[in-house]
């Protein structure tokens, strides 16, 4: 089978520049994103780097969210040390997920504002968490159920809640700069407007 070129439009130069500035396997991330976008025009994007600390390991991650005319595309890159499946050398992983805009169930933005009494309208805080849910993953939090009788020894089973767990990004002005928070808010605003119109 031969696959013909579709005359795909290239990724926007500012998006490529942000991925390269992230400095985390940029060529791998760009190629992964290019495959997922599949030639659609990019309407908005958000690039977010994050560093996490395990007990003895520092791990970096890069997430890219892209909005096209029909889809929300998420690319996440990280690396892992050697293992039985991939051998002893470290391996990089770059994963994409493409979601139809009609499938996006919610866009949640949590604003963290220091000293809210002095909040100035329009500043929108020093940190946000952007949560996007499309029903791809959920988290079930369970705990033993109880009753108000302190002497009760009956087994009341479990109680809990099911929480959407598709995508959550925390962007902090203190860690990443004020521009990063502004970029995230602009992306959330556009995604909210697009999904509300479906």
Strand stretches in 21-164, DSSP E = 42-53, 58-68, 71-80, 91-100, 106-112, 127-133, 138-144, 158-164
Cα 9 to the center of its chain, rounded Å: 24
- In eight-state DSSP terms, residue 118 is G
pLDDT tens digits, residue range 29-73? 999 999 999 999 999 999 998 765 566 665 678 999 999 999 999
Cα–Cα dist 63/22, whole Å: 10
* pLDDT band (50, 70, 90) for residue 5: very low
Cα–Cα dist 191/198, whole Å: 11
Average of per-residue pLDDT across 90-97: 86
In contact, 166 and 133? CB cutoff 8 Å: yes
pLDDT tens digits, residue range 161-172? 555 557 889 999
Q: How many CB atoms lie within 10 A of CB 1?
A: 2
Tokens of 110: 């949590």
Cα–Cα dist 122/87, whole Å: 51
């Amino acid at each position: 089978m031969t696959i013909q070129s579709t005359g795909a439009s290239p990724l926007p130069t500012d998006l490529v520049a942000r991925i390269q500035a992230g400095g985390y396997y940029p060529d791998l991330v760009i190629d992964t994103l290019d495959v997922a976008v599949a030639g659609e025009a990019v309407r908005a994007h958000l690039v977010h780097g994050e560093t996490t600390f395990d007990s003895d390991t520092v791990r970096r991650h890069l997430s890219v969210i892209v909005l096209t005319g029909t889809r929300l595309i998420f690319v996440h890159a990280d690396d892992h040390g050697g293992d039985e499946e991939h051998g002893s050398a470290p391996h990089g992983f770059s994963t994409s997920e493409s979601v139809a805009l009609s499938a996006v169930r919610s866009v949640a933005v949590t604003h963290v504002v220091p000293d809210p009494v002095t909040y100035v309208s329009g500043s929108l805080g020093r940190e946000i968490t952007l949560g996007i849910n499309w029903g791809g993953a959920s988290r079930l939090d369970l705990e033993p159920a109880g009753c108000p009788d302190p002497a009760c020894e009956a087994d009341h089973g479990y109680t809990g809640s099911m929480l959407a767990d598709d995508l959550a990004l925390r962007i902090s002005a203190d860690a990443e700069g004020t521009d990063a928070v502004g970029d995230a808010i602009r992306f959330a605003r556009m995604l909210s407007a697009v999904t509300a119109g479906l």
